[in-house]
Structure 1
Amino acid sequence: MASSSTTDHSTTKKPSKIKAVIKGLTIPVILLVLCEILVRQGVIEPYLLPAPSSLWQSFLELSEGELWQHIWTSTWRVFLGFFIGSGLALIFALFVGLNKQAEAFLEPSFSAIKSIPSLAWIPLLLLWLGIDESSKITLIAIGAFFPTYTNTVAAIQGVDRKLIEVAQVYRLKYFRQIREIILPAASPGTLTGLRNSLSLAWMFMIAAELIAATQGIGYLLSDGRETSRPDIVIIAIILLAVLGKISDSIMKYIEQYLLRWRDVVK
């Protein structure tokens, strides 16, 4: 009986996923068809917006060149900057979230730095680090730092005090309280921050590559603009959307896997 109920559950789950995919693709498909019609009818000039059917040929031409190198370059920049920025954010967030004195010293400075736009960092980083990889990675790390830091601090400070009181009743040592009570309770907020950090890392990567780069998707955007090739610009934008969606889906899967205990609690 148990196996049959499991089979029924899996079979009902598949059609729902298919319906969700179809619903998600509806608007993009409508927009593509509409764009194709408007360009073919001459309502929109091809030099402003190429027909979607012509983008495939442009993609094939780019793929025969250095397109995959551009994708690889941008991807490793994003993930390296993300790991550096979010890693530092977790360290500072634990320090600030668990220590009121540290919060009093660090929180005002971090709040001020967080409000600085990404483009404002570029001239300073170029002066300090030059136009090589270090300036780009640093900018991406700055972008990835604050979502993880902010969410983790809020999650730690939002842990139910009753849980800590129970730990004190059982006389758990301080570091054991952190490891077994505070960190698990704060993990949903931390993982949300990490997911937001990865999304922001892609945005900061474009800011870095638009200014000073000879490779990467941001460089493709800049090159398409300078050579009046809207097809290259649109392909670069689509690549960003696809890569961002893939990385976000990976983070979402990791988040669901690490937080699977919530389903057991429910």
Structure 2
Amino acid sequence: MKHKYYLLVISLAFSMQSYFLIHNFNERNSNYLHPFFLFVLGVEPITQYTNFLIWFFVFISISFYFSGIISENINGYGKYMLVRNTQKLKWIMGLYYLTTIRLFGLVVLQFTFFILSSFIFTQNLETFPSIIMLVKVVFIYFLTLLFLIFLQMYLELYTSPQVSLLSVNFYVVLSILLAGVIFLHNQGELLLYGLIPNFAMGLRLDVISDENFIISYPIALLILGLVVLLILYFSIRKIEAKDIY
């Protein structure tokens, strides 16, 4: 029941985001992407707070949807089912796999909202950019969200779902706003690679933007791959050592 409620909230967030971005398509970044894919643009290098709030509303809706996945299974009745029926390694990897599939489904749903809104609110559908560019920005958008949700799940091995959710969302907000300051002053480029939520912002990557002071896509992809693998590794170590009996 909880997931159905959050899915409704996510759908509302997707609809608001698609309406706002496509309604302002001609004024904002129409030369970058086909309107179907505007959701991967994110926030401009110098933060525009309206776009930031809309993007964050979408993310926090997704974050709530995945909150408690691990905690619910290692506390209360869930831990007895785990002890009796499942190996810890198989269980933890199964949860991460299921999360990946669900998140992919949500990104497809988000894409669907933008397709529908594009046909309703704009007639400028004839321009279609490079397929390679689209694949790159959609892939890193998905992978960045995956890292943030995995991080939230990993923290639940140590603390409550509420603290995990607040911690990740605080990191997201701080990263986006701090990156905006870095881009404004054109100083501290290396710090950007520790502010991983910005990797989901197409306008802050060199795949779309031609600015000199920008996040490098290959480096961002390498960092994402590394941190996702580290989360999986440390999750396995933690769950194997954790006493859930």
The higher relative CO (CA closer than 8 Å, separation ≥ 6) is in 2
TM-score for both structures, normalised by structure 1: 0.31
The structure in which a higher percent of residues are helix is: 1
TM-score for both structures, normalised by structure 2: 0.33
